[in-house]
Amino acid sequence: MFLNKTPDELRKINQIHTIHASLGLDGNSLSATQISDIINSNAVSADAKEIREAKNAIAVYDKLVQWHPFSFTSFCSAHRMMMAGLVENAGELRTGQVEITLYRKKINVAPDGKMVLPLMENLFSYVKTSRDLLLIKSMVFYYEMSFIHPFRFGNGRMGRLWQKVLLNEYNPVFESLAIEPLILEREQQFNEVLSRCKRNGKSTLFIEFMLGLIDEALQNLLLSRPPVISASDRLEAFRNGFALDTFTRKDYIQFFKNISTATASRDLQMATELEILNKTGDKNKTVYRFR
């Protein structure tokens, strides 16, 4: 319920691991410590291209909440920043033919360059207008984009980035979630799932695989550091989650099963004094209503 209240320190740590893993999946050999040093403007002795990749990715992920999840233009702008100084025509769709490989073996010839724009426009139309749960749409986007292969280079890291942008739109907790390190740990299984989906012509296995990783990442986030929960947090959650117009202290305690009677009383008294709640009745007959 309160996962979106993760501390800034934990969010920053998980962002480092996210960037490290996403770049690692594309062959970058920098360590998480080196990524952290680059963020903190410390000197790093490493390949200049890999440092540039890291700096670009850091800049892109720093703007995570500013990218527009349903905007193809924003998507291309993110690629331009991600690949700046690394490839020619960063941010521009490919025009030629490319092959997609896993384990250094060709598994697919990507669609002709002339088809890339309409395919990507259709994909963005799907994530914007479909009634499917955005959680699922983010995975469909990642899967479909990996085979459309809209750019000549940087498609993998862009697929992972945009899935995170879409997931963050679904729930802000995903800004703090480190899914990419789990993909890196299971890279062979991940590629096998993609390959099987390609043969079957369905994304079902990929969606199931990603849901499992997300569930594991959420568990890791909870174990890393429980969120700090205030009375205001509880009251806002109760306002959004309790179905009836009026309620009692007993209702409030039943909604938050791990708080004491004294904590519930303090929450409700504070909300009444701040005129967040209207209070009628007395003692065990007291009834509250949000203003």
Q: Tell me the pLDDT tens digit for each residue of 202-226.
A: 899 999 999 999 999 988 887 776 5
Q: So what CATH class is 3-224?
A: mainly alpha
CB atoms within 10 A of CB 220: 15
Do the domains at 3-224 and 231-290 have one common CATH topology? no
- Mean pLDDT, residues 96-122 taken together: 77
Task: Assign 157 a pLDDT band (cuts: 50, 70, 90).
Answer: very high
Residue 232 has a pLDDT of 86
Judged against a pLDDT cut of 90, whether residue 230 lies above it is answered with: no
Nearest partner of 276 among 288, 262, 260, judged by Cα? 288
pLDDT (tens digit, 9 = 90+) per residue, 38-83? Answer: 999 999 999 999 999 999 999 999 999 999 999 999 999 999 999 9
pLDDT tier at 173, thresholds 50, 70, 90: confident
Q: 233 versus 55: which is more confidently predicted? A: 55
pLDDT number for residue 10: 79
User: pLDDT digit string (tens) for 123-152?
Assistant: 999 999 999 999 999 999 999 999 899 999
CATH class of 231-290: mainly alpha
What is the distance between the terminal CA atoms of the chain, rounded to a whole angstrom?
23
Is the pLDDT confidence value at 107 over 60? no
| pLDDT score recorded for residue 101 | 62
Tell me the pLDDT of the chain averaged across its residues. 90
- Per-residue pLDDT tens for 21-37? 999 999 999 999 999 99
- Lowest-confidence segment of 25-34, 76-85, 98-107, 156-165 by average pLDDT: 98-107
CA angle 282, 284, 289 (to 5 degrees): 65
pLDDT (mean) for 7-11: 77
CA separation (Å) from 85 to 26, 202, 244? 17, 36, 57
What was the pLDDT predicted at 103? 44
Q: Give residue 104's pLDDT.
A: 47
d(CA 132, CA 122) in angstroms, rounded, equals 15
Residue spans of the domains in the chain: they are 3-224, 231-290
